[in-house]
Amino acid sequence: MRVEPATIEDLPALTELVMDLFAKSGDFSPNRSTQERGLSLILEQPSRGRIFVLRNDHRIIGMVNLLFTISTARGGFVILMEDVIVHPDHRGLGYGTKLIEYVIDFARQKDFKRITLLTDKISAESQNFFTKHHFEYSSMIPMRINLD
Domain boundaries, position 18: 2-132
Number of domains, the chain? 1
Quick check: is 141 in a domain? no
Quick check: is 127 in a domain? yes
Neighbour-count burial for 98-113, b at 16+ CB within 10 Å, e otherwise: bbbebbbebbeeeebe
Mean pLDDT for the stretch of residues 30-49: 93
Quick check: is 106 in a domain? yes
Quick check: is 41 in a domain? yes
Interval 111-120: pLDDT, tens: 999 999 987 6
**pTM of the full structure:** 0.89
Taking the C-alpha atoms of residue 129 and residue 110, their distance in angstroms, rounded to an integer, is 24
Q: How far is CA 87 from CA 26, 54, 91, 145, in A?
A: 19, 10, 7, 30
CATH code assigned at 10? 3.40.630.30
Average pLDDT, the chain: 91
Taking the C-alpha atoms of residue 116 and residue 111, their distance in angstroms, rounded to an integer, is 15
Quick check: is 145 in a domain? no
Instruction: Quote the Cα angle for 139-122-106, to 5°.
Output: 60
Radius of gyration of the chain measured on its C-alpha atoms: 15
